[in-house]
A and B are shown apart, each in its own frame.
Chain A
Amino acid sequence: MARNIQSLERAAAMLRLLAGGERRLGLSDVASSLGLAKGTAHGILRTLQAEGFVEQDAASGRYQLGAELLRLGNSYLDVHELRARALVWTDDLARASGESVYVGVLHKSGVLIMHHVFRPDDSRQVLEVGAMQPLHSTALGKVLSAYDPVAHTQAVEVEREAFTPRTVTDGAGFEEILDLTRARGWAADVEETWDGIASVAAPIHNRRRMPVGAVAVAGAVERVCGDAGEPRAALIASVRDCARAVSRDLGAGRF
């Protein structure tokens, strides 16, 4: 194991110190508790302060934990919260597009379907909540891989299976698709996972602009795509509108 970085260890010790007992401590208290020179302690505290992890009381000059720490702890979004927020918007997307709608999140090197709205016709359909889809070939997976670095790493590391003749499996080709996805803000899967099925997906962001999931419309390739074999523009706009609406509900700003 590589040697640890001393200043980070010291910063961590300071945060623990401020989190326990008295909570507000002066510079000399911090320095003496940790056996550091005042100058060293001050340098670390100032850095932590600039990052928002520590705050200094203006009147007493004492230090305490900063609001950024709390935000870090709370930034995890419960997937069921995501479903609750997405419900109204995805219903409307299904209704407007006439197709099935899915919301997916990253889970164990794949896409976990955590919400599914039926295609609004009278046909028998089975709820696919809990199903897994591949990262590299589906529209949901491409969006997650393009925006979430963790998903990207996993998509690059897994073996990219060719489900159909149209599945892109080579590394360079895959990266190109992700670049395109980031550039235009959406991804498509035209018969790359299932024959006859096409889908379009867009990213859902939280208030910290972190990608927390993706929303997709999927249906028969003849309906989803126009004559040129590309997804219809109106459908793309609907999916992106829906993703933006859910993001706004999660507190993300307008973009």
Chain B
Amino acid sequence: MTSSTGPFIAAIDQGTTSSRCIVFDRDGRIVAVDQKEHEQIFPKPGWVEHDATEIWTNVQEVVAGAIAKAAQDVPGFTSADVKAVGITNQRETTLMWDRHTGEPVHNALVWQDTRTDALCKELGRNVGQDRFRRETGLPLASYFAGPKARWLLDNVEGLRERAEAGDILFGTMDSWVIWNLTGGAQGGVHVTDVTNASRTMLMNLHNLTWDERIAESMGVPLNVLPEIRSSAEVYGEVKEGVLAGVPVASALGDQQAALFGQTCFAEGEAKSTYGTGTFMLMNTGDKIINSYSGLLTTVGYKIGDEKPVYALEGSIAVTGSLVQWMRDQMGLIKSAAEIETLASSVEDNGGAYFVPAFSGLFAPYWRSDARGVITGLTRYVTKAHIARAVLEATAWQTREITDAMTKDSGVELAALKVDGGMTSNNLLMQTLSDFLDAPVVRPMVAETTCLGAAYAAGLAVGFWPDTDALRANWRRAAEWTPRMPAEQRDREYKSWLKAVERSMGWVDDEDAS
């Protein structure tokens, strides 16, 4: 390969299953990567925790590891060639720690953790789950950080008193990593960025400050909260380790980082990340769009003193995990990639539709009483048709989200930028383009999340002059264009919607949980 020359930007991705550090060059090419998984702790059904101390140790290791690899591969490389470090992180995962010792008071409560379900219902009072929606853009749901903080304050002995005495700090994983990088108990800066703050349910989207009224209703004292800053500015310098002295210059929640890495800088541009689940974000410019279709309103990013850019977000719970289910639970395929081989062995779905509402239907339906169904079965249907229906389920669910986004925002989707593991599935990408009736585009760098954090950090220190320079870095690796006749698409969509209807109302109210 043509070797990269400095200077470089480093990005730390503190993710749900692992922490990674990637070093990028000016063209946005990957120079070095290191990665380490951390333990998933399941104390009870529905509870998911991470050991924040382990995570911080891992972050230090992967930073050292990536820098060592870069030094090995790039002649003359020194850590002084790294001009800034950016942070991206699993969103909403919540931690509280002692500001004097740096000791977490409890394991971090992970975004998937559902222990705050009942608390969220209670917080809705007579208004319901949209009580704070106008201010925060979010429904009361167990993902978000505010209720998790409340749970910790209620359940860790003596924590509320310590918090009120000013000894405790709250943060999502960006805050934890930045505080530690910049010195921890010895002068670490306690900050978060607007995208992470927009997932706490404590920030007012309109003025990007903590909403005192909501914090009070939620029972979270204001003095534990970090300072809200932009996504791209220098928060401080790394205090110790291989990157000592390097500016810490960006923070973005993982999905927002992917939006940034995909250079969706214009209103109406959208990205969809296909992993275990799927997250789609659409840039809505300076407009805060209230969703009437069950989407979330969130901050996309904010560069320094510039105006914030907002986004609509829709997520699909089961996409890649449905393929895993076909492999692990059904045994119909040996590897995830084989789903394409099996699905390609037939021309169509044979009349079968698979609605993977394993834990209910999410956006735009929000029906917790729904469960998975396979409909349209006849003796003609083979496992290959089911495989095809599995891939189509991901494509149809994306269509439902884009329809909702168009309805809420009035902006038609021009093209969808995709990333994530499932983009290696050619049949899925073609199907997606067919069902959306829009081009589907895959960029050349698969690591859009880390790249987004690196881009934001690079902008903050002047490594890249502006977003136009980042756009120029973006390269199309593949593009799928619609081939399906409109009548066929409409007919199939109707059948899909019928199948979705069949999935609803399965769980009776009394045993719904």
Contacts and interface: CB of A to CB of B under 8 A. Distances in A.
A95 interface: yes
Contacts of A122: 476
B478 interface: yes
Interface in A208-249: 234, 238, 241
Interface string A84-99: 1001100111111000
Given A80-B340, A83-B424, A84-B337, A92 B30 contact: yes
B332 interface: no
A81 interface: yes
Interface string B461-479: 0000000000000011111
A125 B337 contact: no
Interface residues of B, number: 27
A80 B30 contact: no
B335 interface: yes
The A interface is mostly helix, strand or loop, or mixed, namely helix
B424 A78 contact: no
Interface in A103-128: 115-118, 120, 122, 125, 127
A34 interface: no
Contacts of B341: 78-80
Interface string A145-169: 0000000000000000000000000
Interface centre among B1, B338, B425, by most chain A C-beta atoms within 10 angstroms, is B1
A118 B446 contact: no
Given A79-B341, A83-B426, A94-B444, A118 B2 contact: no
Contacts of A118: 475-479
Nearest to B343: A80
A92 B447 CA distance: 12
A87 B477 CA distance: 10
B29 interface: yes
Interface string B1-43: 1100000000000000000000000010110000000000000
A165 B188 CA distance: 71
A131 interface: no
B445 interface: yes
18 contacts: A78-B335, A78-B338, A79-B341, A80-B339, A81-B338, A84-B421, A87-B423, A91-B446, A91-B477, A93-B1, A95-B27, A96-B2, A117-B478, A120-B476, A120-B477, A125-B479, A127-B479, A241-B1
Interface of A: 78-81, 83-84, 87-88, 91-96, 115-118, 120, 122, 125, 127, 129, 234, 238, 241
Given A80-B426, A84-B424, A94-B444, 7 more contacts: A78-B335, A83-B424, A84-B336, A93-B1, A120-B444, A120-B475, A127-B478
Interface of B: 1-2, 27, 29-30, 334-341, 421, 423-426, 444-446, 475-480
